């Protein structure tokens, strides 16, 4: 295990287990390794993805009005969807922030940097990073999330987009549901890379990158233009025959997953700080994306689909990857 007390001169800590590409995309193929990566507890499917998709299913079953009610726009049912989405954000984002940054229940153990969130910084609204992040998450992010979801459910209710019934095509519906995480990663890579186009970066994406040192609320702290791009993955279900639960789960995955990816911690301790309790830590991950916030020009996607590997923007924290990044920067500066 990496020594948690060893940090570099900038206060940075690096986990021992560095990001690795999905073995499904590596040759030669190793079926047992792939199956473990996909289906082992903590793997791609039986992990945080299952939580987000499960919340999407439960929201459809218990916290979403009937399709008949949504055949025409009405403030009451749209407000209900916003309240559900905002409530889940506050519960998950706020819960992680409370434990890790307010109570500091595990100190800086497993934290990528020894710095804490800014409280007196004029670049943030209210001069406070957390309040700034909460504002953009709830006032812009959750509103646009709800708008996308409301319009999509209205379109389902009015037979505008292709509908698939679970009772007639259960296998197709189940496979589509579990594939949402991968669909989201492909969409996220290209949408994110697009926001690094200079005009979009200067007009919108800069706001998210104010968060060099990230916390749970940083994940959905974006400019409205970026929220429109980031959450547009739900529009895939306007083309792919789907059930409303697929659309809800898709946009819920997009709305909630950034909290875990932006905690700034590699693991969450279940209990306190003793050596025995380290073994009962829950892996949060996020190091791959943390490097993006630190260096800006790498890791536009996630390691589960190695698009960064294929398009030359991969950085796994090794000295070799860092040299490659610096060489690319020098090449661009010289051209």
Environment class of residue 27 by beta-carbon count within 10 Å: exposed (0-12), middle (13-18) or buried (19+)?
Answer: exposed
- Tens digit of pLDDT for each residue in 204-250? 999 999 999 999 999 999 999 999 999 999 999 999 999 999 999 99
- Tens digit of pLDDT for each residue in 156-198? 999 999 999 999 999 999 999 999 999 999 999 999 999 999 9
- Give me the percent of the chain exceeding a pLDDT of 90: 75
Mean pLDDT of 123-145: 98
**pLDDT reading at 127 higher than 70:** yes
Residue 268 is predicted with a pLDDT of: 87
Residue 47 is predicted with a pLDDT of: 80
Alpha carbon separation from 282 to 198, 237, 267, 270 (Å, rounded): 37, 32, 5, 7
Rounded distance between C-alpha atoms, residue 159 and residue 153, angstroms: 10
User: Which residue did the predictor score with more confidence, 156 or 4?
Assistant: 156
Residue 273 is predicted with a pLDDT of: 53
């Amino acid at each position: 295990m990496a020594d948690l007390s060893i940090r570099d001169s900038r206060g940075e800590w690096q986990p021992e287990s560095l990001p690795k590409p999905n073995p499904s995309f590596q040759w030669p193929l190793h079926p047992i390794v792939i199956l473990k990566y996909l289906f082992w507890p903590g793997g791609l499917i039986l992990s945080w993805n299952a939580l987000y998709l499960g919340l999407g299913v439960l929201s459809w079953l218990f916290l979403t009005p009937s399709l008949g009610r949504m055949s025409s726009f009405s403030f009451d049912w749209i407000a209900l969807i916003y309240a559900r989405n905002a409530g889940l954000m506050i519960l998950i984002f706020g819960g992680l922030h409370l434990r890790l940054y307010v109570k500091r229940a595990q100190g800086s153990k497993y934290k990528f940097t020894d710095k804490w969130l800014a409280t007196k910084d004029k670049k943030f609204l209210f001069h406070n990073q957390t309040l700034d992040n909460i504002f953009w998450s709830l006032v812009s992010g959750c509103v646009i999330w709800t708008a996308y979801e409301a319009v999509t459910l209205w379109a389902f209710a009015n037979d505008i987009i292709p509908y698939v019934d679970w009772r007639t095509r259960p296998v197709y519906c189940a496979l589509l549901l579990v594939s949402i995480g991968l669909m989201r990663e492909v969409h996220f890579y290209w949408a994110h890379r697009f926001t690094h186009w200079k005009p979009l970066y200067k007009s919108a994406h800069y706001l998210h990158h104010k968060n060099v040192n990230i916390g749970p609320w940083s994940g959905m702290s974006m400019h409205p233009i970026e929220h429109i791009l980031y959450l547009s993955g739900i529009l895939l279900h306007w083309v792919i025959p789907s059930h409303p639960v697929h659309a809800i789960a898709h946009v819920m995955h997009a709305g909630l997953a950034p909290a875990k990816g932006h905690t700034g911690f590699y693991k969450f301790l279940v209990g306190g700080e003793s050596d025995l309790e380290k073994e009962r830590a829950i892996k949060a991950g996020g190091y791959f994306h943390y490097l993006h916030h630190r260096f800006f020009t790498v890791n536009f996607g996630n390691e589960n689909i190695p698009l960064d590997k294929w398009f030359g923007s991969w950085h796994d924290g090794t000295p070799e990857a860092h040299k490659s990044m610096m060489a690319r920067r020098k090449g661009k500066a010289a051209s």
